Structure 1
């Protein structure tokens, strides 16, 4: 039996249990913005860097001798040349540092961090050619907003807008779609400028200028930062359009079959799976005519600020359940999360103010991504983004892996067998909104997906 998600039942995209949900509903003021992941004891020297969660998987401390903050490509050339000439190791860092692995560590305490924090300008947007050129430290949100002003859109993106363009390209970040070129942002790169180490004949640095006809573009656009520092990116855009979004809840008995075909039925499809509850939520999301009158908006609750007190209470309850092995408590709280957050449509509204029912229709730029906890002023950490390590906030193990569509059915069935043998074992996953399944198309990029696949995103307490 299928259930249309409305004010009575549903799912939350980055789940928190009921107490947190209730506090979210009354949050109406600004919060402390995330701090810079780079900290130095003496101006820009003797530095450490972490990610946005405040900890790498191995809990190690990543150190660097100093950090440089270029503002132009000329600055970047000088920095790379000097470091190359003195044989120093370099790593690129971004403003928010959302990669969980230690990709930013320069390996040792004598390395150099090159931050793209101030390489943050939109250089050109051309409505006639439908292209935008930006510096690599520009955020996804900037691209979305500037494109929309010109009547254009980047068609597929991750759901969180606090990523830099250079960072999301380097790590192969994506949204969810099997249509067209697929959901990976790097598929829309038509030009790229990269500063790489060079020999004495190059002045110890060289600028690689790559366009869509260059054989090296497929290597450079997803490179984990090992080929050089990207200074500029040019992206191909599309005319701005509207979307219609409806979330449909179903029993997961046929999920193994449905998941394989669902991505071809809707352009922006994804599936959120709650194995212990034996439910799955299907995102039916497609382009529609821009003549349809509606102005929906996505302000996803998991990306809003919360009070530090709320975060501490939630964290304490989660730690208590974990230390006492209280699986039943986790299951109860995960169901409460499901029902409470869905009553508010995960933060989606039909008009920017209130949720009145499905479908939610709005322009692509208002629905494709969110992250309002970044729109904040300092308030002495009375409030914070839900994962801010400066307060007692969310802390979990995040695992993401891809499985080819041809094998996804078998994997889903295996997980269902595990749930049958131990029904409460997956409730901890559901406290953090279950398993998000996003569709990713095979790519020609050397470090892209080799085939059409499902990405499984799992956050485990």
Structure 2
């Protein structure tokens, strides 16, 4: 069922902010899906493994709830929020020695390159920490080798967890591929409920070069081509602009290291922008929403898409500045990931920095098995034909990014080869204000999650995406047994992780307007906005068949 019709910038603020009385924990967007404020009593910043062990032991002895918070905290759900006001967030900001969990992906990539090595696959955003990538199952795009999930290249970890009094209230476990492999597979996607990862070792490869070409075509054959495209090119992905009937295929493969080229990928959307420009663009979109101007959004989407495609999405092949044509050839460390907006360039910042009036959005991201991708895409195409201007708002935010992810042995990883559909779209500052074409977006979300059994990305999404999600994992019960062994008191668990792991109720709400923010699937009109013309009705497609 759906609901129808004083500014500072630069280097991002830390997710933990403390006063003399308490602390507040948030994410890099400044808001959780339910807009709640996360409070805690105290925060710790261990800089060494020994300091981390002491913090975990002290908190365990006090039976204090703990959650790990990373340098920037880019997860959208409440993974970093400990229960109650007496929680104890543990920051990994200073835990950067010996490849600790606080090391960022960018630092890992650069350190590997200095040694002539490369992480073969990674997320496109390099501001993540290595600990958070294991917490949420972060990935790039590939069906080749061991796949694009970073956790599948982790071969050794050390985990610091609560212990008994006999253990000194802390237990340190060393896991690798020959020692406790099942436990390692639990840690590889752990939601932060097993403890703190203090050290890890990655399986790297000799550094190599890639050749990238973006090909823009009609989406008429997308449903068929998407299934095979990931097998044809090692780093393939697809960007789908539904309102324009266009698909941009990333033809991306390794080439001999002697191939000329020193290209760079500094993705346009991850570059620092001036606060004035961000405020101007947000004001335009808010006005379009207020006026229900689908035509206005379509014009903006066309301009944005043209600019991205013309500038090769941020690829350059001369002096890290100019794009002169395809293919763009360069070393892996310069093409695989970017996050230049984090560098604090003058008065510029990341587009979603909550300190400025910039982007404020939802992200719906789920993985559909390759065997079901064709039917899902065809369903979405049929829906969009019924409401052709509805997807202009999504095309403003890069359309739908489609990334390939291979089946993994991680207990909470992908269980078969999938395509990850990543959708970003407007969110109102007013939680009771419906969005333009909200019903269409919700129908796509519910088709992917419920009809096609999509797995939600652990680090993104609105609450509705996690409804019965844990039941889709055949090794879920095995994960819970390991969780009970590592943290029997549940000190690293919180209300949110309990809900998504099926251990607690409360994932969704039954209150006025809950469907507008993805806090419920509507079952009555008051879940939507009846006074504003949005009622709870069946969708245009029969999604539950």
Q: Tell me the matched-pair count.
A: 416
Task: Kindly state the Cα deviation for residue 340 of structure 1 after the two structures are TM-superposed.
Answer: 2.0
Q: Which residue of 2 aligns with 1:401?
A: 366
Shift of 1:250: 0.9
TM-score with structure 1 setting the length: 0.89
Alpha-carbon shift at residue 368 of structure 1 (Å): 0.2
1:55 counterpart (31, 40, 44)? 31
1:362 partner SS: strand
1:452 equivalent in alignment to 2:417: yes
Q: Which residue number corresponds to residue 290 of structure 2? A: 323
State the alpha-carbon separation in 2 of the partners of residues 290 and 430 from structure 1.
36
- 83, 89, 96: which one aligns with 1:107: 83
1:215-364 matches, cutoff 5 A: 215-351=182-318, 352-364=320-332
Q: In structure 1, what is the equivalent of residue 174 of structure 2? A: 209
CA deviation digits over 1:300-356, x for unaligned, max 9?
Answer: 111111111100000000001111110111111100111123222221101322100
> Quick one: distance in 2 between partners of 1:364 and 1:220?
27
Q: Deviations over 1:124-149 (max 9, x none)?
A: xxxxxxxxxx1110000011001001
Q: For 1:271 and 1:341, how far apart are their aligned partners in 2?
A: 14
Structure with the larger helix share: 2
1:370 to 338, 356, 363: 338
Deviations 1:121-180 (A, max 9, x none): 3x2xxxxxxxxxx11100000110010011100000000100100001111000000001
Shift of 1:288: 0.4
Measure the CA separation in 1 of the matches of 2:264 and 2:106: 14
Q: In structure 1, what is the equivalent of residue 147 of structure 2?
A: 182
Q: Indicate whether 1:442 and 2:442 are aligned.
A: no
Corresponding position: 1:197 with 2:173: no
Q: Match for residue 128 of structure 1?
A: none
The answer as to whether partners of 2:342 and 2:349 remain within 8 angstroms in 1 is no
Aligned to 2:511: none
C-alpha displacement of 1:185: 0.4
Does the Cα contact within 8 Å between 2:68 and 2:90 map onto a contact in 1? yes
| 1:91 paired residue among 67, 74, 80 | 67
Unaligned regions of 5+ residues in structure 1, if any?
A: 1-30, 124-133
SS at 1:258 equivalent? helix
In the alignment, structure 2 segments of 5+ residues that lack a partner are 1-8, 427-545
Instruction: Say which of 364, 378, 403 aligns to 1:413.
Output: 378
Higher RCO (C-alpha under 8 Å, 6+ residues apart)? 1
Q: Give the TM-score normalised by structure 2.
A: 0.75
Q: CA RMSD in A?
A: 1.1
| Contact kept? 2:394, 2:425, Cα under 8 Å | yes
Partner of 2:54: 78
